[in-house]
Amino acid sequence: MRRLWLIFAQATTVALALLFVLSTLKPEWMGRSGPAASRPIVLGASAPEDKARTDTPGVDIHRGGYSLAAKRAAPAVVSIMASKAPSRNSASEAEDPWYRFHFGQRGQKGNRTPQDRRPQTGLGSGVIVSEQGYLLTNSHVVEGASDIEVMLTDGRQTHATLVGTDPETDIAVLKIDLPGLPVIQLGQVESLQVGDVVLAIGNPFNVGQTVTSGIVSALERDQLGINTFENFIQTDAAINPGNSGGALVDEAGRLVGINTAIYSRSGGSLGIGFAIPISTARQVMESLLRDGQVQRGWIGVQLRELTPEFAEAFKLPIHEGVLISGVLAEGPAAKAGVKPGDVIVQVGKTVVHSPAQLLTAISAVPPKSATTLSLLRGQQKMEIALTVAQRPKPKPQ
């Protein structure tokens, strides 16, 4: 019995030694791939065939991030330098925060003299939206400018002609004459949703073209006191001085908005920026190119919110509508018989609940066209027909 155990032990030892020799010298005999089989698996590493494909000219591999969107949109975003001739009250302008924000401030308070009246230069951005050389930017970027220069990302610089402005939406249209212009693709604001990724492209603080990313924080922001007609896209993508007039694009690089304003206590980005939807900017541009001005309806009334206190005091049967606080003499509303104290609840077929909604509904009616106002005068319901007029241009501030 002892002899059998000795023979078994010797045979086992020889077999293990043989296996060790074979696995070391001839691993393919054992069905293994040699030393490479012991390499650690690295997640995310490119396989050899992927590397070969990446090195192949003309083949685009998705790298993650939004570099493709930036590459598509950035060439069409330009820097704008608007020179403004000095005014007689340049000293008071130097103290204006809005003026300093867009045109800068030379020196400290009190360093200006009446003789220091050199032209001021404002910096902003713009977006090429047409092969014919039409650009969109903000009205406040070029307001009062005597000379406008545009710098493209390829280094070309040229003079721009002001086609027209619409201060009530803060949109301006410029034109440049250069061959081979890059043109941005327009997106659909209607498909934009809160939480979608967006990129802001512009020239903040004149440091050069910059791309920042964020999301759509809110849609249809109004009653901010920025413009007369407000329907902003709110985003947390960083927007700073110099970004005004630049592009807000979606993750495919399509233009969805024109950056226009920020909420800030310091002058820099705090994560609350506002952009004008491209649908609004496009309507303004087409109207400026076609008519030389934006065609908007106007009836000549002053508006106020209908408060619960007012409705209760006058025992009105409704609590939603727009209160008429004043009527301009000889205006369309006055001629039609609208009076202060009336409450408008509908314009044509559009129900209105706020002054902003009423203003938008009236402005959508083409000038010299007829419409009806459904209103409440005390306890009496009325319908008044009137012909709207062209909205007067706002007075320069």
Q: 166-186 pLDDT, tens per residue?
A: 998 999 999 999 999 999 999
170 is catalytic: yes
- DSSP SS3 for 151: strand
Catalytic residue among 166, 170, 236, 250: 170
Q: Which residues contact 62 (CB under 8 A, 6 or more apart)?
A: 68
Can you give the pLDDT at residue 21? 64
Can you give the pLDDT at residue 204? 87
244 is catalytic: yes
- DSSP SS3 for 22: helix
Q: What is the pLDDT of residues 31-48, one digit of tens each?
A: 544 444 444 433 233 334
Q: Of 16-25, 53-62, 188-197, 305-314, which has the strongest mean pLDDT?
A: 188-197
Instruction: Write down the mean pLDDT value for the chain.
Output: 79
Residue with tokens 């106007």: 298
Residue 322 to residue 326: CA distance in whole angstroms? 12
**DSSP single-letter state for residue 85:** P
Can you give the pLDDT at residue 86? 65
Radius of gyration, alpha carbons of the chain: 33
How far CA 307 is from CA of 222, 311, 318, 353, in Å, comes to 19, 6, 11, 11
Can you give the pLDDT at residue 239? 87
Q: Which residues contact 105 (CB under 8 A, 6 or more apart)?
A: 94
Q: Which DSSP string do the residues of 211-235 spell out, in sequence order?
A: EEEEEEEEEEE--SSS-SS--EEEE
Mean pLDDT of 200-216: 90
Q: What is the pLDDT of residues 245-302, one digit of tens each?
A: 999 999 999 999 999 987 766 666 677 889 999 999 999 999 999 988 888 899 999 8
In 3D space, the residue among 383, 151, 336, 314 whose CA is nearest the CA of residue 245 turns out to be 151
- Main-chain dihedrals φ then ψ at residue 251, nearest 5 degrees: -70, -5
Handedness of CA 253, 158, 87, 285 (dihedral sign): negative
Give yes or no for residue 85 having a pLDDT over 50: yes
Can you give the pLDDT at residue 73? 94
Give yes or no for residue 199 having a pLDDT over 60: yes
Q: Which residues contact 102 (CB under 8 A, 6 or more apart)?
A: 122, 123, 124, 140, 141, 241, 244
Give yes or no for residue 379 having a pLDDT over 70: yes
Q: Is 289 exposed, middle or buried (0-12, 13-18, 19+ CB in 10 A)?
A: middle
Residue with tokens 């924080």: 217
Token digits of residue 284: 């303004």
- Main-chain dihedrals φ then ψ at residue 255, nearest 5 degrees: -75, 120
Catalytic residue among 79, 125, 217, 244: 244
Predicted TM-score (pTM) of this structure: 0.69
90-94, 175-179, 326-330: least confidently modelled range: 90-94
Can you give the pLDDT at residue 20? 67
Can you give the pLDDT at residue 234? 94
Q: Which DSSP string do the residues of 328-397 spell out, in sequence order?
A: -TTSHHHHHT--TT-EEEEETTEE--SHHHHHHHHHTSPTT-EEEEEEEETTEEEEEEEE-EEPPPPPP-
Question: Residues 1-16, buried b or exposed e (16+ Cβ, 10 A)?
Answer: eeeeeeeeeeeeeeee
Can you give the pLDDT at residue 87? 58
Question: Which band of pLDDT confidence, cut at 50, 70 and 90, is reported for residue 105?
Answer: very low
State the distance between the two ends of the chain, measured CA to CA, in whole angstroms.
115
In contact, 361 and 297? CB cutoff 8 Å: no
Can you give the pLDDT at residue 70? 92
